[in-house]
Structure 1
Amino acid sequence: MEKNSEYVVIADALLAENGFVTDRAVRIKDGFIADITARAQASDKVYVLDFSGHSIAPCFCDYHLHFFQRSTEKIGEITDHLTKSGISKVYEGGDAHGCGMEVKKAVADRLAVQTSGYALYRKGSYGGYIGREVSTLREAEYMIEALYQSGPDYIKVVNSGVFEPVAGTISSGRFTFHELKHIVACAGAKGLDVACHANGDESVRDAVKAGVSFIVHGLGVSSASLALMAERGTAFIPTVNAFASLAAKESEKMARENIREAVAQHLAAVKNACDRGVRVLPGSDAGAAVIPYGTSFVRELNLFEEAGMSIEKILLSAAAGTLEPEAKADFLILEGLTVKHVVRGGVFL
C-alpha cells in the first residue's frame, strides 16, 4: 500500500496496552492510524486487507544492543536488518567511542535510538569494549557530567565481569556497593536512569539495592534477588540468546556443556522473574560477530517462549509503544511470534 492512501487491516487480534483484543480492524489513512474498531464495524467503502489467523501488534523494541565503531560504516545495512525483524526502537548499551550518539542522529528517520554513549566500568575490570574506565568516585562524577553534556538517554554501568565458558564462571571486577550507589545518585540528579551490566547474584543484588532501573544479563540471579527486583520495580533484560551464542565460538566439550547449563538456568530465571511480576524485556546484545542484528532479537523472543512466557506477555514486553488513533501507522502483522509483514508509515515493506 502507498503512504497516501486509505485502507483497513483486519485480524483475529490486536495487541493493546494490556494484552490482546480480539476481532479488531485498523483503518489507515495517509500513513496514520485513523481509528481502531471492532472487526464487524470496519468500513466496506475502502480497501480491506484480511489477515485472519494473524495478529496486529506494535513494532518491537530491542532493549539491549551495541553500535561499535565499525557499525557506523554499515549503519544502513544494520538498520535494514533491524527493520525487517520488526524493530523500530533500540536501547544502545555503549561502546568505548560513544558511537551510539552518531548513529542516533544518522538513523533518526528510520530507527528510534536510546543510547548511553559509553558505559562506566571500574579500572582493571571488564568493560573496555563498551565503555571507559573510572578509578575514583570523582572520576565517575566527571564522566557522568561529560556524558550529560553530550546528551545520553540513560547511563550504563558495568558491575561484573562476563561468563567464561571454559571455567563455567563469571570473571571478576565490579564496583563496591557504596560506589555503585553514588553513581546511581549522580545519574539520578541529572534525570537519567541507570542500566547495569551485572552477572552473578551479588552483583545483581547490589545493583538493585543501589537503585538501578535495568539489570542487563543477570546470569546467576537468585530467587531472592528477583523478588527484590519485583519489589523495587527493576526491569530484567536477560539476553539469553547472547549466552547461547557463545557456543558458536567454543570447540571444547566442557565449555559447550557449561554454556548449555548456564542457558538452561537462565531460562528458568526468566520464567521465575515473569511469575514474580518482574518486567522482563527482550534484548539481543547484537553487535558481536556471532550475534547479528535483527535475527538475534527474534531468537530472544523464541527463547522467552521456551522459558514458559506466553506469546501475549512476550509481545507486550517487546512492544515499542501502543497502537492508537492519530499515531503513525507503524505496526506488524504476526503469526504467533513470527513477523509476516512490517508496516511503517502505512507502507508495507
Structure 2
Amino acid sequence: MRTFALLALLSPLSLATAQTAPPPAPTALHCGQLFDARSGKVLGPHTLLVKDGRIERIVSGGNADVAGVASIDLRDRTCSPGWTDLHVHIYDQSSPQTYSEGFRLDPVDYAYRSVGYAQKTLRAGFTSVRDLGGEVTPHLRDAINQGLVDGPRIWAAGTSIGTTGGHADPTNGYNHALSHLIGPPGPTEGVINSVDDARQAVRQRYKEGSDVIKITATGGVLSYAKSGDAPQFTVDEIRAVVDTANDYGYRVAAHAHGEEGMYRAVEAGVTSIEHGTYMSDRVMKLMKEKGTWYVPTIYAGRFVADKAKVDGYFPEVVRPKAARIGALIQDTAAKAYRNGVPIAFGTDMGVGPHGDNAREFIYMVEAGIPAAVALQSATVRAAEVLGVDDQGVLEPGKRADVIAMPGNPVEDINAVMDVDFVMKDGRVYRRPGDDADAE
C-alpha cells in the first residue's frame, strides 16, 4: 500500500514538471517538387505555409511570396509527407549479444538506448512509427509527446500477445530451474491459452496504455524456439483478441510466417499481416476479400538471412530459421503485389539498424513494386492502416509532417536514402547541411 500511495503522490508531480516546448513559429517551405501521395505523382514547385503545427495553405510555385513568416529554401529538393514505418522495435537493435542481454539488462537500459534510436529514425524521414512489441516504448512515446526527447510519433503495442512456447513467450530458452523460479507467464505477461486469457491480455494492454495490439499468430524467426511457421492460436482465440480490441478502439497486427496461422488471423479479422512469408493464394484471396493489409518487412528478411551466414551471430536453434525464412520475404512481397493484396510499409527495424529504414523502399522496388506505390505505402496507405486521416498527405489542415531530399524518388528510388530535411508537427528537426549522424 505504501508503494501505491507513493506513486499517487509522485505521478501528479511528474506531470506538472514535464516541460512542453513552445509552438513553432509560422514557416513557409519553398519546395522545388512535391510528392502528391494521393495520386503518386511528383508535382512542380509549391510553397507550403505551416502554422501551429498544421499546413495552413499550399500555393503553386516554389517562389510564392508569403510575407511575415520565416522561409526555408527547398527549391532544389523534392518535398514529401513524412514517412510512417508500421513495424519497428525501437527499444533494441540486433547484435550477437541480444540474447544474453535479455538476462543482464534492465528496462531502464533499453529505455536509454531507445532515445538514440528514436532520434535516428526521425532524422531518416520517419515522422511516425508503429512499434509492435516493446515494454519501454509506451514510455518513450510519452516522453516524445511531452517534448522531453526527439523522436517520431509512436503507436505503441507494448507487450506482444502470444501463446505458451510461442514467438512472444518471454521465457523461451530458460532452463528448468529458472522457469520454475519465475513460474509460467500468463495474460499479464502477454501469454494466453484460452479465449478468456485472450480477453484479459487485451484488457491488460489497455491498462498499460497501448495504442495497438500485436499478436504472434505463428512461430517466429528470432525467438528461441524451433518452429518459425507453426500456427500458435486457434481462430476463436484470435477472434477474442480482435473483438476485445475493437471494444477499446484498437487495431490488431498479426506477426505471421506460416500459411495456416496466417489464414486463421485473417479469418478472425486482424487489421494487418506482418512478414507473411508463406502467404498462399488462399490467404491472398481472403486478405483481398476482408481488406487485410500486408506489411512485408523485406529489410528484416534480408538482414537475418545475411546474418545467418555469420558464425555465432544467432543461436543455433535460430540460425536455420533465419536462413530459410528470411530469404523468402522479398519474393512473397512481389507475389502479393502482383495479386492485388493491399500493401503498407514496414521494416521490422530493430532487427536491422535504426535509421536505415528507408532502404525498405529500395527492396520493394527490386521486388517489382513501382516506386510511387512504395512511397504511398509509407504515407497515405500507412495512415489508413493506423486509422487516422490527419497525416500521410500534404494538404491544408493536415499535420505539418514534411521531409525533403535531393532528387526525385519516383524516378530514382535511391533518393530516399538522402533525406536531409525533416519537419514534424511544424517543428524542424533536420536541415540541409546538418551532420547526417547527428542526434
TM-score range, shorter chain: 0.7 to 0.9
Please point out which of 245, 255, 267 is paired with 2:303. 245
Deviations 1:113-159 (A, max 9, x none): 11111111111222134962112222222222222233321211111
Cα 1:220–1:177 shift into 2, 3 Å: same
Aligned pairs for 1:201-240 within 5 A: 201-240=259-298
Q: Is 2:275–2:329's contact at 8 Å kept on the other side of the alignment?
A: no
Which residue matches 1:33? 55
Alpha-carbon offset, residue 257 of structure 1: 9.8
Distance in 2 between residues matched to 1:16 and 1:172, nearest whole Å: 37
Residue 309 in structure 1 maps to residue 369 in structure 2: yes
Alpha-carbon offset, residue 274 of structure 1: 2.3
Please point out which of 59, 79, 97 is paired with 1:56. 79
Task: Calculate the TM-score normalised by the size of structure 1.
Answer: 0.85
Alpha-carbon offset, residue 84 of structure 1: 1.4
Alpha-carbon offset, residue 14 of structure 1: 2.6
Q: Is 1:122–1:173's contact at 8 Å kept on the other side of the alignment?
A: no
Match of 2:30, SS state, is strand
Q: Is 1:213–1:234's contact at 8 Å kept on the other side of the alignment?
A: yes
Distance in 2 between residues matched to 1:150 and 1:259, nearest whole Å: 32
Which residue matches 2:163? 122
Which residue matches 2:89? 66
Distance in 1 between residues matched to 2:236 and 2:126, nearest whole Å: 37
Deviations 1:35-82 (A, max 9, x none): 223227833878572534x42111111101124434311233112101
Q: Is 1:67–1:103's contact at 8 Å kept on the other side of the alignment?
A: no
Q: Amino acid of the residue matched to residue 58 of structure 1?
A: P
**Identity across matched positions, percent:** 24
Structure index of larger Rg: 2
Which residue matches 2:123? 84
Distance in 1 between residues matched to 2:330 and 2:271, nearest whole Å: 21
Match of 1:180, SS state, is helix
Gaps of 5+ in 2: 1-23, 92-106, 172-188, 312-317, 380-390, 410-415, 431-439
Alpha-carbon offset, residue 260 of structure 1: 6.8
Q: Is 1:187–1:193's contact at 8 Å kept on the other side of the alignment?
A: yes
Match of 1:80, SS state, is helix
Deviations 1:78-105 (A, max 9, x none): 121011110111111123xx22221111
When the two structures are aligned, how many residues end up with a matched partner? Answer: 340
Q: Is 1:65–1:90's contact at 8 Å kept on the other side of the alignment?
A: yes
Q: Amino acid of the residue matched to residue 201 of structure 1?
A: E
Deviations 1:276-304 (A, max 9, x none): 3322122221224xx11121x11212111
Which residue matches 1:285? 348
Aligned pairs for 1:50-199 within 5 A: 50-52=74-76, 54-68=77-91, 69=107, 70-95=109-134, 98-108=135-145, 109=147, 110-129=151-170, 132-163=190-221, 170-172=228-230, 174-199=232-257
Structure 1 range deviating more: 330-339 or 218-227: 330-339
Which residue matches 2:333? 270
Aligned pairs for 1:322-341 within 5 A: 322-334=393-405, 335=407, 336=409, 337-338=416-417, 339-341=419-421
Which residue matches 1:347? 428
Q: Is 1:64–1:93's contact at 8 Å kept on the other side of the alignment?
A: yes
Distance in 2 between residues matched to 1:324 and 1:114, nearest whole Å: 22
Q: Is 2:87–2:349's contact at 8 Å kept on the other side of the alignment?
A: yes
Structure (1/2) with the larger strand percentage: 1
Distance in 1 between residues matched to 2:291 and 2:245, nearest whole Å: 18
Alpha-carbon offset, residue 204 of structure 1: 1.0
Q: Amino acid of the residue matched to residue 124 of structure 1?
A: G
Distance in 1 between residues matched to 2:324 and 2:271, nearest whole Å: 28
Q: Amino acid of the residue matched to residue 125 of structure 1?
A: G
Deviations 1:3-53 (A, max 9, x none): 53644413233323332252131233556534223227833878572534x
Cα 1:135–1:235 shift into 2, 3 Å: same
Alpha-carbon offset, residue 198 of structure 1: 0.8
Over aligned residue pairs, what C-alpha RMSD do you find?
A: 3.2
Distance in 2 between residues matched to 1:14 and 1:183, nearest whole Å: 38
Q: Is 2:308–2:322's contact at 8 Å kept on the other side of the alignment?
A: no
Distance in 2 between residues matched to 1:162 and 1:35, nearest whole Å: 46
Distance in 1 between residues matched to 2:215 and 2:169, nearest whole Å: 12
Gaps of 5+ in 1: none
Q: Is 1:195–1:215's contact at 8 Å kept on the other side of the alignment?
A: yes
Structure 1 residue ranges, 4+ long, deviating more than 6 angstroms after superposition? 255-258
Distance in 1 between residues matched to 2:282 and 2:255, nearest whole Å: 19
Match of 1:170, SS state, is coil
Distance in 2 between residues matched to 1:321 and 1:259, nearest whole Å: 33
Cα 1:343–1:256 shift into 2, 3 Å: same
Structure 1 range deviating more: 151-160 or 331-340: 331-340
Please point out which of 18, 21, 26 is paired with 2:39. 18
Task: Calculate the TM-score normalised by the size of structure 2.
Answer: 0.69
Q: Is 1:198–1:216's contact at 8 Å kept on the other side of the alignment?
A: yes
Distance in 2 between residues matched to 1:266 and 1:154, nearest whole Å: 24
